[in-house]
Every structure is written in structure tokens, then in C-alpha cells.
Amino acid sequence: MFKAIFIVVLFLSAFAVLPLCAETPDFGDDIGSAFSITPDNDPIEGELQTGADIDFFALTPEPETVYRVFFNNGLSDRKNLKVLMENSDYELRNIKKLDSNAETEYSTFYCEYGYPVYFKVFSDYSASGLYHIEVQTVKTVPVDSFSNSCSSPTQLDLSSGYIETEAVIDTSEPNFSAAPDYYTFDALENYRYYISFDYLDSSQLRATVLNSSCSSLVSSVNEDEGITLVSNDGGDFIIKCGHSPYGDSEDISVGNYYCLKVSAEGPLYDDFSNSKDSAHQIIPGDGPVKGTVFGANYGGDIDWFYADVNENSLYRITIDGYDYSRYKDCKIYYARTPESGHPESLIELYSTSEYNAIYSYLFSRDYMIEDSGRLYIRMAGRHFDTSYTVAAELISEFSEDLYPNTMEQAQQIPTDNTRIIGAVLGEYTDPNYVTHPDKDYFYFDTQDWHKYEVRVSKSDNANINFGVQLTDPAGSTIIDYHEDQAVLTFVDTSQQDKWYICVENKGLHLGGYYEFTVRDLGSFPDDRPSNFDSSDTFRLPTDGTWYGGSIDYYSDRGDDSDLLLFDIPVSGEYTFNFYNKIYRKVFFKVYYWDTEYHPAISKFDVSRGETVTKTHNFPTAGLGRIVVSTENNYTGDYFVSIKDPLPRCGDGYAPPPGDTNEDCYVDFQDVAAIAEGWLNDTNP
């Protein structure tokens, strides 16, 4: 007995000296029970017990200090950490959310005051398992004393070409007013400067660039990209750093730290003038002039050129993006030669847009000039240095009005695709000495059921009506001001042999150069009309026989459609079959007429290779109509069959009386069959 007890005591004593395995604690799941974390200590290991578990940690910071929290998920499932900062009203602001998947993530924040900072550990992915959290002190940054006045900004010293300034938007208690900081530096003419910022996760800042009058030049500076500035005249810039709340009532007392960086990137060579008044002249026909514009977010280079232009002449301005260089913008202006003592007035003819810059392609614009003057070309870079070439060329001259001004005197033109060139020039005077805007009239002969194509183009500054009609086309148009060209096709179904064209300026707009062609595309005879004609004797069979028709043409002024007529001899149920061989859908509409016209009783479409069967019950005898059309400019064949309710031999009905051989006809063959057995004894 003694020995047994002794052995047990020795065993327990030996186990007592072994180290016990520490169990990972489960930290509090709300702010009230948050575990206090001390900066600059070893990482704390925690564990989410379940996918819905939450752990809270709390940091009591030193004022005016930058901290960084590290969060590592280890090898367990994906987890999250959210940084929450308390303000003077005991409200929590969400600073940043970390997402760790077996790597270390971190968040850096500035504590202007000693308000608590909380760290919430959880998983958006219902994950559990181990994690590590650690807080380190980065540095102390006192609240700055930089100028809060735009009229007397803090002067930055750029004598070394670069400067960094750490600062905090002061939100002194108790009012928490966030007065912005203002800086300036001595800018040199045609010198490029780069401005950037480093922010923290707790920062809510907006940096803007102002001129010396405190007017905004650049409304926002992106933290990731920074901005470039060029002072074209040597004027100074002012940098404003201010608080930017998420909302009108957003707390501003959390941690608005930033680091402003300004560097002088060096002088820029300006090859052509930035001013229209000293623009560089280019001579039409002398070839391209090469230029370079340096880019910046503000104050980028501008190059001005001009070409003297003569009246009633067509000029072409060509810009080459040149050797795959970067985006550039272009504006083209026209100015009439001013009268003595009057200033020059610019009319903008063209401008690139935000989404339509010139890149590396060849780009040209044609302008009809009715009064002598100048064409100005303004080239500008975007954010980068870029090269280009610019050239001017005289294309055509018009010494007089070339074409008749009235429909009665219209000039005949061929339909063989001959190019007609013209210009609507100012005004003309009629025989009664009345002045009218210039119009150019043409006509061309047509043939029935021939298809014609009219193709028109114009100068880029033209705003013309280009009408094509059987009657006077003045005032109508087939081309829009924003289009370079337009195409009209039509089939002459009019039974007339002459179509007219009228070209005229819209309103007082000048620059009406145009080119056009008319081409006969050949014959497109139509087997069935599109409209009802009481003299039409055509009727579809109603005995179930298939009828084959076709859609023969399409055009901008009407596609072919077929009107098919069929008799309704008796009331009753009629069966229709529709088959389509055209590549796209064919549309069918069925109508009928007794003593009055009825709306369509059926509308449907038939896809290619498909047969559709429909039945319709007509209450009375009358006249039926089927309208056939297709979609999307396709032509081809279709088929229709109709079966009326009249009884017919061989269709489940007995042969007619006297049809002894049952061939559905009573004829001499039946008489011969009867005569063959005439007077024969048929008794059994």
C-alpha cells in the first residue's frame, strides 16, 4: 500500500515541473471589453474561434503621433482588420479595412489627440483560426504653424530644386476649425515643377493649386499621381492644403497629416509662340512645319500658327501626330480680314475634345473660305511632352458661281458616278434685281424601277442643305452638319423621269463647298405593287397551291413590300401557310374586306427556312389582302398557300354524280364506261 501511494506522488510531482502549453486567449467581442494593446511590443497572437467571432483591441495613443498597425493572417483562412478612431463626441470613424490572406497588411494613421483607437478583427469570409496584430510608433509630428492665409502664404525655398514639408491641418479644440495651409514658391518662366503629397489613412485632405490672386487653377491633386505646373509668364503658384470631409458633418479632428513635396524639374525650350498675336506663319503648299509642345497639368505649352487664305477657296489643314508621340490638342479658327480700325474676330472651326485627342495618326480638315482672312492653328500638349507637324494646302479656287440658281434652269448631270464639285457662294441677284442666297440646282434623268445612289461630301465648315426630290428640293437635306458625308439610295417608282438636287447654305452659315455623285445601280423590277390598286386583277389561288413571291429591293427611301390579293368566296375557316427563304425575318399581315375595310387580323414574322401555319375564320365572303415585307435591307423569295373551306373531290369527299371512274371529272370517259356495259345482263 505504501509503495503504490509513493509511486503516484512521484508521478504527479514529475508532471508538475513540465511546462504547460499556453492557450491562445479569446479576446473581447465588443469595444467595452477590448484588449489594451501597447505600441512597440511583440505581436499579439489571437484566434477567431468561429467564422462569426469578433475580437477587439484598443490603443490609447500619445497626441501628435503617427502609428502603424500590422495584421497577419498566418496560414489560416482569410481575415479582416478594421481601424476605428474615436473623436471628441465619442463617435467612431472608419479609417481603413485590411484584408489579409496569408500576408502582412498594415495601416498608418495620425493621432492629433489622445482619443482611443480600436482595432476590430473579424472575417468577411466566415473564417476562423489564428492571426497576429502589432502596433508600432512611427514618429511624432507636432501640429504645424504654417500660414492659414492665401494673401500671405508660407514661402518654400526651392534653391536646392527640391523640398519636403511635413504638416498637420490644425483642428485645435474646442471648435475643431480646420484652417487650410497655404504655400508658395518663386516660379521661373517656362520652368516645370512637380508637386505631390504623401497622405496617411487617417487623412482627409484636398490639395488645390491657385494663382497669385487666389483663384483656382487645378481643383484637385491626386495623391498617387501628383501634378506638373509650368509658369508661362513667371507668375507664382499658391498651394492650398485643406480638410476635405466625406460629408458636411464629417468629423475633422481625427488625423490630417500630410507631406508636401515640390521639385523643380528644369527649364523648357519653347519653339513657337504661346500667343496668337505672334503666331508663326505657314505658307500653303510649302510642306509641314514640325513643332513640340511640353505638357503639364497646368500651364502646358501652346504653339500658334496662321495661314493667309483667299476668298472663294478651299484649304486643307493637316496635322500629323508624328512618330507615335503622346496625346495633343488642336483648335482651328478662322478670322476675316478686319476693316480698318476694327479688331480681328475669331470663329472656332474645330476643337479636339477630352475623348478625341490627336495621337499618332494623320489628321486633316477642309475649309471653304468665302472671304479672305486667316486660318489659325493652336496646338497644345496634355500632361506630357509631344511632337507634331502642321501644314496648309490650297485645294480648289472658285472664281464665280458655277451652277444655276433656279429649278427651271437646273443643270443636267449624268448618273454614271461622275464627281460634281461646287460651292454655294454668298448671294445672287435675279433679273428683277432682287438679292437671294445662292443656290445650286441640278437634275438627272431616271428610269422606272431603277435604283439610284446619291453620295455627297462637304468641307468641314460647311452647313448645307442638300436635297433630292421629284419636286423642288430646296430646304430639304440628306446630310447633317456634323457628318462628313452622306449616302441616299432610292428606287424610282414614280413613273416620272426627272429628279432634282438643290444645294444651299443653312441660314447665314458660310463655307458651302460640296462634292457629290449620282450612280444608276441597275434595274430592280417589282413583281407585285406595294399599294392597293382597284384595277389589280391578280388573285392568289385558294386551293392550297403554293405561290412564290420575292422582296426585290431596299433603299433609304422605302423598301419593297408586296401586296397580295385573294378572293374569299365563302365564309368559313381558311388555312394559310407561309414559308421564308430570305436570310432575315419576313413579316406578314393579313387583312380582309367585305363591305368595309377591317384592321389586320393577323401580324407575325417567319424566320429563314421556317414554315408557319395560320387559320382564320372569315364571317362573310369578301376580298383578302396579305402584305409581305422584310427587315434590315434583305431581299429574296417567300412562299404563300391558302386553302379555302370549299369541298373538293378526293379530299375525303365522294366524287360528283356521274363520275363513274372517280377521276373527279364527269366527261366522255364516264359516258364510254357506261356505254361499254350498255344492255348487259347484270342479274346474278
Distance CA 138, CA 108 (A): 9
Per-position DSSP letters for 33-61, written without gaps between them: GPEE--TTSPPEEEEESSTT--EEEEE-P
Distance CA 528, CA 555 (A): 17
Which domains are seen in the chain, by residue range?
A: 31-140 (2.60.120.510), 154-267 (2.60.120.380), 276-397 (2.60.120.380), 411-523 (2.60.120.380), 543-643 (2.60.120.380), 654-679 (no CATH)
Phi, psi of 306 (to 5 degrees): -145, 155
66 touches 39 (CB < 8 A): no
Provide the β-strand partners of residue 237.
185
Residue 217, judged by CB atoms within 10 A of its CB (0-12, 13-18, 19+), counts as middle
Mean pLDDT in runs of 10 for the chain (684 residues)?
35 36 76 95 93 96 96 85 88 90 90 93 92 96 88 94 90 64 92 90 87 87 79 88 63 76 90 93 96 87 95 93 75 90 88 74 87 93 85 91 91 97 80 78 94 94 91 88 85 88 81 93 90 87 94 91 94 95 92 82 93 94 94 91 85 75 79 76 65
* Among 69, 80, 143, 138, CA closest to 113: 143
**What pLDDT is attached to residue 446?**
95
Beta strand ranges found along 101-180 (DSSP E):
104-111, 117-122, 129-140, 154-155, 162-168
304 touches 273 (CB < 8 A): yes
**What pLDDT is attached to residue 10?**
34
151 touches 67 (CB < 8 A): no
**What pLDDT is attached to residue 105?**
94
Backbone conformation region of residue 562, classed left if phi is above 0, alpha if psi is from -120 to 50, else beta: beta
**Angle at alpha carbon of residue 418, lines to 414 and 420, rounded to 5°:** 95
Give Cα 148 to chain centroid, integer Å.
Answer: 43
Structural Rg of the chain based on CA atoms = 45
* Among 366, 623, 641, CA closest to 513: 366
Distance CA 577, CA 542 (A): 11
Whole-Å CA distances, 149 to 167, 197, 683: 15, 20, 137
